[in-house]
Structure 1
């Protein structure tokens, strides 16, 4: 996650999603000047990448929890929407 700024890396999944939702709302309003829109879009892509990494990490942890010392005990793939 080296290309994601430290302020985003420190965000929880929920905080990053909230920030992303605010960005989407601003962009959808069409009220931001072009340069601001580009900056918002760029930050939004970084927030999305961060959220995806958080979800992948959570999925991996969930899959590990379904394993016992004797092998799989019903590991299921977690699919996010």
Structure 2
């Protein structure tokens, strides 16, 4: 079985680009079956990672609130990872 790649170092945008590339390859129909299965598994791992990053980003956004005076509160944990 193919070695699993660690995608955690990829940015969301890079992971999404790779996932789009995989989808294009699979949709072309020109990929042998064994390679298609490998690409599908890689795409599934990338999809899972992208969904997790989106959920994490949403949770961080949900923590940001506006105070009664219109100032943003809770943004201190919204730094870059």
**Same fold, TM-score > 0.5, yes or no:** yes
Q: How far apart, CA to CA, are the structure 2 residues paired with 1:66 and 1:13? A: 24
With structure 2 as the length reference, what TM-score do the two structures score? 0.74
Q: What displacement does 1:65 show? A: 1.1
Partner of 1:57: 56
Larger Rg belongs to = 2
Q: CA RMSD in A?
A: 1.8
Consecutive aligned runs of 4 or more in structure 1 exceeding 6 Å deviation? none
Q: How many residues align?
A: 65
With structure 1 as the length reference, what TM-score do the two structures score? 0.74
Q: What displacement does 1:5 show? A: 4.0
